[in-house]
Amino acid sequence: EAGVAQSPRYKIIEKRQSVAFWCNPISGHATLYWYQQILGQGPKLLIQFQNNGVVDDSQLPKDRFSAERLKGVDSTLKIQPAKLEDSAVYLCASSLESGGATQYFGPGTRLTVL
Amino acid sequence: AQSVTQLGSHVSVSEGALVLLRCNYSSSVPPYLFWYVQYPNQGLQLLLKYTSAATLVKGINGFEAEFKKSETSFHLTKPSAHMSDAAEYFCAVSRGGGADGLTFGKGTHLIIQP
Verify whether the Cβ–Cβ distance A41 to B51 is below 8 Å. no
pLDDT at B52 > cutoff 80: no
In angstroms, the CA B112 to CA B93 distance is 26
- Closest listed residue to residue A47, CA positions, set A90, A13, A14, A86: A90
In angstroms, the CA A92 to CA A103 distance is 10
- Judging contacts by C-beta atoms under 8 Å, the chain B residues touching residue A98 are 97-100
Mean pLDDT of chain B: 92
CB atoms within 10 A of CB A68: 13
- For the segment A23-33, the average pLDDT, to the nearest whole number, is 95
A86 by DSSP, 3-state: which?
A: helix
- Judging contacts by C-beta atoms under 8 Å, the chain A residues touching residue B74 are none
Beta strands in chain A (DSSP E): 5-7, 10-13, 19-24, 31-37, 44-50, 53-56, 65-68, 75-79, 88-95, 104-105, 109-113
pLDDT at A99 > cutoff 80: no
pLDDT, one tens digit per residue, over B11-50 is 999 999 999 999 999 987 778 999 999 998 788 999 999 9
Verify whether the Cβ–Cβ distance B43 to A48 is below 8 Å. no
CA A43 to chain B, closest CA, distance in angstroms equals: 6
> What does the pLDDT read at residue A1?
67
- Judging contacts by C-beta atoms under 8 Å, the chain B residues touching residue A4 are 43
CB atoms within 10 A of CB B4: 23
Q: Does A102 touch chain B (CB under 8 A)?
A: yes
Beta bridge partner(s), residue A7: A22
pLDDT, one tens digit per residue, over A42-95 is 999 999 999 989 999 999 999 999 999 988 899 999 999 999 999 999 999 999
